[in-house]
Amino acid sequence: MRALITGADGQLARELVSTVPPDVQLRAVSRVECDIVDLQAIEKVFESFRPDIVFNTAAYTAVDAAEENEDSAFLVNAGGAENVAKAAELIGARLIHISTDYVFDGLRSTPYPPEVQPNPINVYGASKLAGEKLALAASPNAVIVRSGWLYSARGKNFLATILMALRGSRSLSVVTDQEGCPTSAHEFAAVLWKMSGDGLGGIYHWSNSGSGSWYDFAREIARVGKKLGLLADEPEIRPVTTAEYPRQAKRPPYSVLDSTKLAGALGVSPSSWQQALLRDMTREFGGFSRRT
């Protein structure tokens, strides 16, 4: 099988590359090599490599900046998604397009299954929802997989940010009234590779199991960090409300996703987010200490 990944510089793309099955011929392309807003550039790359499957992980992900750069967010997340879908359809490649929990408004109190009607409350979520619709219109057999609160041990994400802050500060304030599910990009990549061999279509959700706030996530990072010797102790982490920590873009207060449909289709069970975090941090940082 030949697989192509867009957005090669992103954390999920890097995990897809690091977990590629041995029988897959892979090409991962960055924005420099293949800007998804340029349909001709995409078609040229796709025609040259002729992938059987395409993972579209490329996106405009700056949630707050999107509020002031709406045109740019829609150009990439909507127009770019449509371009990738058109190019994939042209050569008969299967498309797996990655979307987000931020297509929902967060007014539920139970996990969101894929069938719930989206209602984004920020520009980023609206642009990603538009991308889902355009991708499915251009490539009806495409698969949309929504996830959220993705982290990895590399790149710019919550885990890396909190670890850096904890190692350089005696205290930290983290939002406690937004609930989601921290999700391992490493484990998500394994699920996506498993999907590549199945004939699934439509919209699915994936996250690790359980839920927590950003505050809970930060506390668990600190706990595991101390266990692995990355931190001398567990610095103070102070819970604050969203109102105390205002941002440009509204966030859904609750965006836990229900992965039952995809887990059942693949015959897999998501591990708890705490178990996944421990495994990820142990794998990446287990050989390091706070002194190194």
81-91 and 123-138 helices, crossing angle to 10°? 20
Residue 221 inside a domain? The answer is no
* Tens digit of each residue's pLDDT (9 = 90 or more) over 31-57: 999 999 999 999 999 999 999 999 999
Structural domain boundaries enclosing 94: 2-149+185-209+256-270
pLDDT bucket at 164, cuts 50 / 70 / 90: confident
Distance separating alpha carbons of residues 125 and 107, to the nearest angstrom = 15
Residue 18 inside a domain? The answer is yes
The token duo for 152 is 């990895």
pLDDT averaged over every residue in the chain: 94
The token duo for 259 is 């992965």
Residue 292's pLDDT is 39
Q: Is 124 a catalytic residue?
A: yes
Burial class (CB in 10 A: 0-12, 13-18, 19+), 2: middle
Taking the alpha carbons of 245, 249, 254, 257 in that order, is the dihedral positive or negative? Answer: negative
Residue 59 inside a domain? The answer is yes
- Helix segments in 51-97, DSSP class H: 70-74, 81-91
Q: Where are the beta strands (DSSP E) in 64-222?
A: 94-100, 143-147, 150-151, 171-175, 179-180, 183-184, 202-205, 212-213
Residue 290's pLDDT is 46
Closest CA to 284 of 186, 140, 156, 148: 186
Mean pLDDT value across residues 57-71: 97
The token duo for 236 is 């103070």
Closest CA to 58 of 83, 27, 80: 80
Q: Side-chain half-sphere of 186: how many Cα atoms within 13 Å?
A: 17
pLDDT bucket at 287, cuts 50 / 70 / 90: low
Residue type at 138? A
Which residues pair with residue 191 across a beta bridge? none
Which residue has better confidence, 211 or 290?
211
Residue 132 inside a domain? The answer is yes
Residue 218 inside a domain? The answer is no
Residue 169's pLDDT is 74
DSSP letter assigned to residue 13: H
Point out the catalytic residue in the list 102, 112, 124, 151. Answer: 124
CATH of the domain at 83: 3.40.50.720
Residue 30 inside a domain? The answer is yes
Mean pLDDT value across residues 152-177: 87
Residue 170 inside a domain? The answer is no
What's the total number of domains in the chain?
1
Residue 288 inside a domain? The answer is no
